[in-house]
Structure 1
Amino acid sequence: MKPVILAGGTGSRLWPKSRAALPKQFLALTSDQTMIQETVMRLAGVDALPPSIICNEEHRFLVAEQMRQINIDNSDILLEPVGRNTAPAIALAALHATANGEDPTLLVLAADHLIQDSATFQAQIKQAQILAEQGKLVTFGIVPTQPHTGYGYIKAGAAMGNGFAVSQFVEKPDMDTATQYVNSGEYFWNSGMFMFKASVFLKALELHAPEMFTVCSKAIAQTERDLDFIRISKDIFATCPSDSIDYAVMEKTADAAMVTLDAGWSDVGSWSSLWETGKKDSSGNVTIGDTLLESTTNSYVNAEDCLVSVIGLDDVVVVQTKDAVMVANKKNSEQIKAVVNHLKKHKRPEFEFHREVFRPWGSYDSIDEGGRFKVKRITVKPGEKLSVQMHHHRAEHWVVVSGTANVTVNDDTTMLTENESIYIPIGAVHALENPGKIPLELIEVQSGAYLGEDDIVRFSDRYGRSDK
């Protein structure tokens, strides 16, 4: 069995925590681990091959680093050059898995779901595997805990071993219809998790979505290995039809089967869902971080880096990050997409980036800025190096707070340690490297007429981002 982790989502309904450059699958929202780390770690009790992870190109270093943190260093990371929904993504993984003549059973999982009972989940994986090895396309139907209008539903048909044939897939219903579904006991939430033999899925895709199958087959034939990543041909894959696996295959095949799952599942699709699944105090509140609540009930309060106090409110969501605060009625928290769309339309940086931005070499936190200056706290991981670069419009002053820095300015290289500093003039070709065994922390003060991140000309870069 080979897990396939779909990690290409944007998670816009969890803004301001989740953003385009750091979506929810790479955040620690339900435990100390990020959601993609939790997804991989809950398979620890299952006999499985290393996972294939499918992600956007801009998130590739996040995936690699977060896998390294949990000692997963042999996964396949496939870079989806453009988003084309779940069916093409799974097709790429299936084609890659069968490229050497093998035919594993694929366990397809979203990177951003919560499953609280891992033991039950692992047991149902084994039941699904039995059906998958009999040639069935298996989906996991979640035993509903309440009527819910945010999920699609699956109607169970005839019993099939420890599962059921799928009688029908239905769209997200209104509340009255959802109530009827739950009361009948015949309908289950559509989890978006699947299991099938790679060859069985590909045959079904070729039958029901032949153009998609053809394009994906051509694209996977022209992959390139780049560091830890497998690059897919963008020119070819961009011509692929966009469709979900439900529409492209599962609703059309006669071989769809379902295994039920009652394991504390949630797709963590909104802040209200994090309240629903979180640990509540005696007033029904879920709190994260430094919070102080008075006369407040049934609320979700998440404080990232400062004290957040809430007084005299009921049924609210309050989320604070270093550069944004979001307050909503819990019942309306899914309307946050309107806010995100506004930020995107007006090109606000809060749409894409947090104040702290992660890079393959470490991170930087923009702690202050004005008309002609910007101050950053920069962290460089041991052994890592920023690109050899130059700026047309700004000079920089670097002060080492801790660790050791190798700094090259034009043809001169200097070793700096704690409390030492250096000046980088406008137009100087420079580079920063951490040769030590501990993280390098430094303060960077930029000054100049233009301080945008696009004022960087890269001459060489170990992460494949050079311009020259």
Structure 2
Amino acid sequence: MKLVSVVLSGGAGTRLWPASRQAYPKPFMKLGGRTLLEQAISRGQDCGAGEVLVVTNQEYLFLSENLVAEMADPPQVRYMLEPKGRNTAPAIALASISVAQTHGRDAVMLVLPADHLIPDTSAFVSDALRAAELARKGQLVVFGIQPTAPETGFGYIEVTKVSSQPQSVLNFIEKPNLATAQGYLAEGRYYWNSGMFCFTAGSMLDAFAKYAPDILECANEVMATAQCQPSEMRFNAHAFGLQPDISIDYAIMERANNVSLIPAKFGWSDVGAWTAVADAHTPDLNGNTLACEQHIDWVSVNTSGTHVHIDSHGHKSVVATVGVKDLIVVHMPDALLIADKKQSQDVKKVVEILKQRHINSAQHQSTLMPPSVNRPWGTYATIREEGGYKVKRISVRQGQCLSLQYHHRRAEHWVVVRGRGIVQIGDVEYLTEPGQYRYIPLNETHRLTNVGEEELILIEVQCGDYLGEDDIVRLADVYGRA
């Protein structure tokens, strides 16, 4: 039977600020050298999924496509592009309709959030294949995680007794208080709800028809007006927004009587806070962990239990910590976080405060945009910005080009430092190589195309009385943004 992996890729990940931003959320963070989204896609492949359906916001399409294209063994991926988030029940309803239409009601769907860390792939595959067998028998299967602590940040699932075998689910329980969680841990009949599921498309559609017919009706209306292409589905924003904002747990799993639990044999983390990120790294003898893509010399004096995360435009050769314990230190080009590990869940409060304080100002970008902003053609990073000028580093992938555009309130100076490009200014095209300079006056049309054999890197200096990203008038664009 057909197995389709459905990867739910979304969420702002505010507890992982400043590395996770609204425009660059948690699924795109790297752990162990690979992004969480890539790891989720690979897990579906390892289970034998013939197709991967990625459910994500339409703004993340190019970012997701670029990530998949760079995988060593890129799978066949279809994208279900949401114009706005409506929680997991509408997403799974739409995915179930699509899978049933494409592969039939008997197709098995393995639903995997894109923000989980599962180091033991073979154990996961073993459990997933057991879940698929149950799904073919009409069960709605959830993966349960054996609790290791009285965690108050997870939902719980109650079963009759502890067993290594699949079990019927008695109850789904929302996030408990500490005393209740301690009781669950002591009793041993409760599992953490992982948010991973397995079922056939037909079984889930039948469950929606029985327990949440309003959601199914809305989903059918959304699908009726969907724009479907071989690799993507787009939806009418108004119709999509009419869907209820509700989780699959509330809508279906808590109501259905054919729910089974697979006790997971694999280690699992939802990477919900910086402490989970730290736990994913190998500690030194003092329990310290370091995350940095560049080589860095960390000098730690009387330091223990501390996690340091470095992501900087400029290379840092040394980081030093003295006399600190159980801290989270995250250095980004535009933000610095220092937090007590015990209060890492409260990082999301920083994002809330920043949004309220700077709702209409440039500082609000620290919660929206990552330091390196992804575009269909590549990336850009702001290196310096002061009154009247801004300096950017622009990277354009091989064969890609920026839109034909102009600006009302700024002129631009371009210097190519790597690669070869065609710079169009007005109606004239200039081959531009490393060390060569081009000037784009105010209101002049221009475009940059990478015609070389490698990545093109450009240093751009903007000069003007307004330097916002919305001062762009696109005249033509190969990515459909004009």
Q: TM-score range by the shorter chain?
A: over 0.9
Does 2:290 align with 1:287? yes
Secondary structure of the structure 2 residue equivalent to 1:98? helix
Mapped contact 2:215–2:243 kept (Cα < 8 A): yes
- Paired with 2:284 and 2:76, the residues of 1 have a C-alpha distance of 41
Structure 2 matches for 1:241-280, cutoff 5 A?
241-280=244-283
Letter in 1 for 2:69: R
- Paired with 1:82 and 1:8, the residues of 2 have a C-alpha distance of 10
Letter in 1 for 2:301: E
- Paired with 2:77 and 2:302, the residues of 1 have a C-alpha distance of 49
* Residue matched to 1:52: 53
Mapped contact 2:161–2:189 kept (Cα < 8 A): no
Mapped contact 1:164–1:259 kept (Cα < 8 A): yes
After TM superposition, the score normalised by the length of structure 1 is 0.96
Mapped contact 1:156–1:166 kept (Cα < 8 A): yes
Give the deviation of 1:207 after TM superposition. 1.5
- Paired with 1:213 and 1:160, the residues of 2 have a C-alpha distance of 35
Letter in 2 for 1:351: T
Secondary structure of the structure 1 residue equivalent to 2:34? coil
Does 2:397 align with 1:412? no
Q: Deviations over 1:180-227 (max 9, x none)?
A: 212222111100000000111011112111111111111112221469
Mapped contact 1:7–1:36 kept (Cα < 8 A): yes
Q: Deviations over 1:59-79 (max 9, x none)?
A: 111111111111425211110
Query: Which runs of no fewer than 5 residues in structure 1 stay unpaired?
Result: none
Give the deviation of 1:261 after TM superposition. 0.4
* Residue matched to 1:92: 94
Give the deviation of 1:38 after TM superposition. 1.0
Give the deviation of 1:309 after TM superposition. 2.2
Letter in 2 for 1:188: Y
Does 2:131 align with 1:124? no
Letter in 2 for 1:222: T
* Residue matched to 1:312: 323
Does 2:350 align with 1:334? no
Does 2:403 align with 1:396? no
Number of residue-to-residue matches in the alignment = 465
Mapped contact 2:158–2:189 kept (Cα < 8 A): yes
Mapped contact 1:55–1:80 kept (Cα < 8 A): yes
Mapped contact 1:361–1:380 kept (Cα < 8 A): yes
Say which of 415, 434, 454 aligns to 2:470: 454
Give the deviation of 1:99 after TM superposition. 1.6
Mapped contact 2:158–2:172 kept (Cα < 8 A): yes
Does 2:365 align with 1:349? yes
* Residue matched to 1:381: 397
Does 2:389 align with 1:366? no
Mapped contact 1:369–1:375 kept (Cα < 8 A): yes
Give the deviation of 1:337 after TM superposition. 1.1
Mapped contact 2:7–2:52 kept (Cα < 8 A): yes
Mapped contact 1:158–1:165 kept (Cα < 8 A): no
Give the deviation of 1:43 after TM superposition. 3.4
Letter in 1 for 2:33: D
Secondary structure of the structure 1 residue equivalent to 2:102? coil
- Paired with 1:456 and 1:242, the residues of 2 have a C-alpha distance of 34
Secondary structure of the structure 2 residue equivalent to 1:157? coil
- Paired with 1:5 and 1:280, the residues of 2 have a C-alpha distance of 30
Give the deviation of 1:419 after TM superposition. 1.2
- Paired with 2:400 and 2:211, the residues of 1 have a C-alpha distance of 47
Give the deviation of 1:354 after TM superposition. 2.1
Mapped contact 1:64–1:228 kept (Cα < 8 A): no
Does 2:147 align with 1:144? yes
Query: Which runs of no fewer than 5 residues in structure 2 stay unpaired?
Result: none
- Paired with 2:370 and 2:127, the residues of 1 have a C-alpha distance of 38
Given the superposition, is the C-alpha separation of residues 120 and 78 from structure 1 closer, same or farther in structure 2, using an over 3 Å criterion? same
- Paired with 1:325 and 1:186, the residues of 2 have a C-alpha distance of 42
Worse overlay, 195-204 or 38-47? 38-47
Mapped contact 1:220–1:233 kept (Cα < 8 A): no
- Paired with 1:354 and 1:440, the residues of 2 have a C-alpha distance of 21
Letter in 2 for 1:176: A
Q: Deviations over 1:336-369 (max 9, x none)?
A: 1111012222131101112221111001111112
- Paired with 2:170 and 2:396, the residues of 1 have a C-alpha distance of 54
Given the superposition, is the C-alpha separation of residues 128 and 160 from structure 1 closer, same or farther in structure 2, using an over 3 Å criterion? farther
- Paired with 2:377 and 2:353, the residues of 1 have a C-alpha distance of 32
- Paired with 1:43 and 1:101, the residues of 2 have a C-alpha distance of 17
Give the deviation of 1:8 after TM superposition. 1.5
- Paired with 2:75 and 2:196, the residues of 1 have a C-alpha distance of 24
Give the deviation of 1:228 after TM superposition. 4.4
Given the superposition, is the C-alpha separation of residues 227 and 52 from structure 1 closer, same or farther in structure 2, using an over 3 Å criterion? closer
Secondary structure of the structure 1 residue equivalent to 2:86? coil
Give the deviation of 1:159 after TM superposition. 9.2
- Paired with 2:387 and 2:230, the residues of 1 have a C-alpha distance of 39
Structure 2 matches for 1:196-215, cutoff 5 A?
196-215=199-218
Mapped contact 1:127–1:162 kept (Cα < 8 A): no
- Paired with 1:301 and 1:402, the residues of 2 have a C-alpha distance of 31
* Residue matched to 2:63: 62
Give the deviation of 1:158 after TM superposition. 7.2
Percent of aligned pairs with the same residue? 40
Q: CA RMSD in A?
A: 1.6
